[in-house]
Amino acid sequence: MTDTERERIKNRGSVEESKRYQAISRVRNRIEDELPRDVEVLEKHHPELFEELVDVVCND
């Protein structure tokens, strides 16, 4: 997420709801569309980075 997206998602009351919704939508699209492809590339071409990602996502 970008810094702006983080702030818009965190600050429910102080951000226009439409901007917050747009940030949530952009992040959701990245999770559903881009992240699976990124994970596949890391797993295949850089297993070390893939393991770091897995540790952060699954263990923290």
| Rounded Cα distance, 41 and 52, in Å | 14
Question: What pLDDT is recorded for position 18?
Answer: 93
Domain of 16 in residue numbering reads as 3-59
pLDDT surpassing 70 at residue 60: no
Q: Report the number of distinct structural domains present in the chain.
A: 1
Q: What is the pLDDT of residues 41-58, one digit of tens each?
A: 999 999 999 999 999 999
| Rounded Cα distance, 12 and 57, in Å | 24
Q: Report residue 5's pLDDT band, with 50, 70 and 90 as the boundaries.
A: very high
Distance (Å) of CA 60 to CA 22, 41, 53, 57: 27, 22, 10, 6
Q: What is the pLDDT of residues 8-41, one digit of tens each?
A: 999 877 889 999 999 999 999 999 999 999 999 9
- pTM (whole model) above 0.85: no
